[in-house]
């Protein structure tokens, strides 16, 4: 819909609204949601307790400098708390970056199977989103560098990537940072970094360069998707810029408290990582045995490949008929795939059994 005289900024009406993962299915009394990469174990008890305690003071504004959470993040990850910014999910950090560094006439570069919010935030800022090809569903540094122009202001890559789950080597990320034009900022989306044992989300690279920013979230391994809290780490000049444009109370008091407790509960995070790795490997092997191969995933989902888009669509409907909701990714240029969140043991076994039955039916 549009109006003749009341017109939004250029680029806004070109945005295709973000489509969240489905929460319901047309079949089955019990619905198992495996479409949004949520942690099946939920948040830690410490995080839930902190959230509930914060509810006793809802009349008070939250901290505007997020000092306590930033200090906790810095302590856990060995980072300078003064170079950390917190937001309502890492989505807000991405939006702040686009609004601060890109506008009409500028370009925002990302890979062909990259997170949808990169293009949405670019258009919202009036900038032009530009897509670089991938190589076998992996970010291609040569393609990204070749796509850079004098108008490139931001380059986004997620490592591990969503929705493919693939990673590229740290040396390749370093090569990308080194090769960018001088006016461009590299943004490393680390929403799934915690699922990789010993991985720092490229924080060490941020430490050594003035053109690299890292974003992270509490929505995935920490199980706080409903609280909406994320963070970023970058050079002082970038964090100073973002703090000038973010809202003063952009993260609620309850979200700040829950996130602080969550990041400090290292034992629970390790348990979530271990369980995810165990059932991710099991589900990938089970689906491969059923004739559905997938790339090695480094996140909390896998991306099995079907024979063609029609078969993937039919499989999606079949899973829904059994109360299993997964994510179709045709909008990411992957119509012959389905993205399946790693659930608990019951969910993983249900998916494997259902898709094995489906594949037998396609061969009948």
Confidence grade of residue 261 (pLDDT, cut at 50, 70, 90): very high
- For the segment 171-186, the average pLDDT, to the nearest whole number, is 98
Spatial contact of 34 and 351, defined as CB atoms under 8 Å apart? yes
φ and ψ of 83, to 5 deg: -110, 20
pTM value is 0.92
Q: What is the 3-state secondary structure (H, E, C) of the chain?
A: CCCCCCCCCCCHHHCCCCCCCCCCCCCCCCCEECCCCCCCCCCCHHHHHHHHHHHHHCCCCCCCCCHHHHHHHHHHHCCCHHHEEEECCHHHHHHHHHHHHCCCCCEEEEECCCCHHHHHHHHHCCCEEEEECEECCEECHHHHHHHCCCCEEEEEEECCCCCCCCCCCHHHHHHHHHHCCCCCEEEEECCCHHHCCCCCCCHHHHHHCCCEEEEEECCCCCCCCCCCCEEEECCHHHHHHHHHHCCCCCCCHHHHHHHHHHHHCHHHHHHHHHHHHHHHHHHHHHHHHCCCCCCCCCCCEECCECCCHHHHHHHHHHHHHCCEECEECHHHCCCCEEEEECCCHHHHHHHHHHHHHHHHHHHC
Question: Residues 187-237: pLDDT tens digits?
Answer: 999 999 999 999 999 999 999 999 999 999 999 999 999 999 999 999 999
For residue 143, what pLDDT is reported? 98
Residue 7's Cβ-count burial label (10 Å; 0-12, 13-18, 19+) is: exposed
Spatial contact of 41 and 164, defined as CB atoms under 8 Å apart? no
φ and ψ of 214, to 5 deg: -115, 135
For residue 26, what pLDDT is reported? 55
What is the token pair recorded at 143? 């393609």
Is 28 a residue whose pLDDT tops 50?
no
Structural domains present in the chain: 12-30+267-363 (3.90.1150.10), 45-265 (3.40.640.10)
Lowest mean pLDDT among 10-14, 85-89, 340-344: 10-14
């Amino acid at each position: 819909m549009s109006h003749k005289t009341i017109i939004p900024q250029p680029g806004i009406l070109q945005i295709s609204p973000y489509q969240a993962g489905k929460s319901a299915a047309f079949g089955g009394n019990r619905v198992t949601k495996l479409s949004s990469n949520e942690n099946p174990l939920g948040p830690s008890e410490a995080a839930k307790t902190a959230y509930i305690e914060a509810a006793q003071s809802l009349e008070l504004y939250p901290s505007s400098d997020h000092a306590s959470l930033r200090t906790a993040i810095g302590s856990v990850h060995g980072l300078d708390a003064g170079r950390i910014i917190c937001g309502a999910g890492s989505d807000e950090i991405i939006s702040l970056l686009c609004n601060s560094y890109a506008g009409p006439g500028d370009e925002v570069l990302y890979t062909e199977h990259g997170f949808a919010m990169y293009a949405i935030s670019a258009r919202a800022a009036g900038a032009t989103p530009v897509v670089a090809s991938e190589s076998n569903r992996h970010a291609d540094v040569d393609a990204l560098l070749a796509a850079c122009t004098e108008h490139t202001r931001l380059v986004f890559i997620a490592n591990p990537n969503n929705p493919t789950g693939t990673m590229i080597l740290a040396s390749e990320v370093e090569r990308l940072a080194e090769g960018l034009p001088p006016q461009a900022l590299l943004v490393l989306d680390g929403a799934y970094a915690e699922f990789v044992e010993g991985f720092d989300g490229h924080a060490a690279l941020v430490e050594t360069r003035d053109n690299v920013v890292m974003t992270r979230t509490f929505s995935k391994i920490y199980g706080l998707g409903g609280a909406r809290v994320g963070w970023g780490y970058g050079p002082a000049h970038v964090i100073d810029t973002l703090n000038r444009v973010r809202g003063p109370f952009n993260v609620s008091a309850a979200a700040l408290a829950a996130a602080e407790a969550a990041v400090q509960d290292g034992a629970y995070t390790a348990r979530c990582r271990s369980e995810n790795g165990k059932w991710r490997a099991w589900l990938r092997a089970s689906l491969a045995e059923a004739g559905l191969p997938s790339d090695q995933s480094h996140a909390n989902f896998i991306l099995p490949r079907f024979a063609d888009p029609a078969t993937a669509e039919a499989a999606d409907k079949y899973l829904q008929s059994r109360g299993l909701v997964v994510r179709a990714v045709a909008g990411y240029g992957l119509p012959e795939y389905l993205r399946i969140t790693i659930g608990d043991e019951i969910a993983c076994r249900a998916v494997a059994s259902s898709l094995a039955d489906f594949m037998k039916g396609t061969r009948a």
